[in-house]
A and B are shown apart, each in its own frame.
Chain A
């Protein structure tokens, strides 16, 4: 409910409260969906890595499930951010993609890195080994995210504008408020979908266990090879 309310408030602020950008005009409205999606996606990858640490520390497979779902959600949000960014680039720079821009390329690298997470899981048949290797990968890849971010910030030549900085940036108050509400909405959406997918996957696992306990091993179809934790 909080997610729906925040996203509705964000859309109202984006289209009826935030002023038009003097430089880009109406097309700058993409900023309020593209940047929050990218930020939440990157934070989700780091979150997935932290959850993977929980798995390696405790050996509890539920942490692996949490990490898997976080990375899965982050990939979806990341692809949405990338597509929104492509559209904005076309409208603003006249090109769908600019290879010279470190922000764009680094985000693509992070996305492609995490895109290999699912094939990695799928390639390992033994569930225990799959969970262990996937957690190790998630931790290393998550550590790459802040390193990548710092490297991009240190880069000199970039096409992306720097509107968010530690000293406050150069966003006017109304735009900043709109951006923060959008960011909160997307973050809440991520949290809600993460919990939803986690609950759905856990329900499926519990159902399978219940069926096995009550009806015997023959009543349960053998699991097909899967990237998802079982």
Chain B
């Protein structure tokens, strides 16, 4: 026996926000927020906080990746972005998540500078990989490998960059990405695979 199926409800499911099938597209949420809908703001916060927290966790150096620090950084970044939503223009900056990632990256760099100014800290270049205490992502993958990946990624069209970041770096599911790019999960899956093929050509060239 494998257990009481009658007792196992809900079953093995990944729920996305409050909708088990498809999350509301981010562009629609942004429209609602701009229209003064506070509930849409909550939905977006709930959607992005865990994603960005996971991502920031790997990008921060050991001294700053305590859970509370990461949470603070991410929450402040996200709230600031939502308070200045008028600065986001999807036509020019791509998806909202990519926009947030860029803001967060800047925040991380600011945080690193702050840490470096502490007594005992070492004044270093503001580039992330040059810190004495490298972020987890570089501890795990190696400085050169991460830099090569970032260089190759930067050569791709913006949309392909976003798809790869959302899937690989943020660990977002296909329905979540679909909500971000206003597509369907299956189409997103195909697009991600093709973006990875493009990346492989750039990355293979780098390491050849």
Q: Do A and B come from one complex?
A: no
